[in-house]
Amino acid sequence: MAEAASLFSLSAAAVVEDVLREHGCRLSDRDLASRRTGEAAARRNEAAGWLRRTVGAVAGRDLPEEPSEEEFRLGLRNGQILCSALNRVHPGAVQKVVTADSVDGAALSAFQYFENVRNFLVAAQEIGLPCFEASDLEQ
């Protein structure tokens, strides 16, 4: 009888461990996803703060204090903030920054995006900074 009680307590303990492990993993996955989202937001907020301190408002726009991923991406998309920041850190790195007054008409946004982002990526690569793809600003 003692042997049966011992087997029962072992198997009950194993079942409890299995249930805790199964549910613990699920909670851990949710916690991990939440933590990753929080860490990404913290890095984005830190980057936005650094950019605000480094370049201030560019073209009359400033990044929000705590931008969403979309706000951050849209704020960097035309390349002016990126070029200005690189020029502050490494003066003269980006030779040409297209601004609103250097191009006329509706084509400004597309031209500005293409030129500024391209000029930023070329300059960053030339001075050996880790880079990203221009398409990353669209995703």
Ordered by where they begin, the domains of the chain are 12-137 (1.10.418.10)
Contacts 24+ apart (CB under 8 A), 63-66: 66/41
Closest alpha carbon to 117 in 87, 71, 81, 72: 81
pLDDT in tens, the chain (139 residues): 554 444 444 566 666 666 666 665 555 667 778 888 889 899 999 989 999 888 887 766 778 889 999 898 888 888 889 999 999 999 999 998 887 655 555 556 677 778 888 999 999 999 998 877 777 766 6
Residues 113, 82: Cα–Cα separation, whole Å: 11
3-state secondary structure 28-50: HHHHHHHHHHHHHHHHHHHHHHH
